[in-house]
Amino acid sequence: MQSIAGVLENAYGATNTEISTISLVYMAIFILTVFPSNVILDKGGLRIGMLIGTFLTAAGMWVKCLVNTSPYYVLTG
């Protein structure tokens, strides 16, 4: 059985380092955004937090759909 990194290497012609970097970027972004999101939830409540999260998710989806010049656009966003 082949790992997911191996499948992505074959599908996109990427190296293992490039695929690993994408997962590291996710972890770094999580660390940077977890604290502000907790502050928003504490100060504004669940409704405001969900609205902001929904808006940011939709904005990320549109960026992913509109900027697809790289073969890695499916992996980002």
Burial degree of 40 (CB within 10 A; 0-12, 13-18, 19+): middle
Residue 44: helix, strand or coil by DSSP?
helix
19 close to 8: Cβ distance less than 8 angstroms? yes
pTM: 0.59
At residue 70, the pLDDT reads: 60
* pLDDT score, position 36: 92
Q: What is the pLDDT of residues 19-31, one digit of tens each?
A: 888 888 888 989 9
Residues 6+ apart with CB under 8 A from 60: 77
* Residue partners of 55: CB distance under 8 A and separation at least 6: none
pLDDT tops 80 at residue 65: no
Per-domain residue ranges for the chain?
A: 4-66
**Tens-digit pLDDT profile for residues 3-62:** 788 888 888 788 888 888 888 888 898 999 999 999 999 999 999 999 999 999 999 888
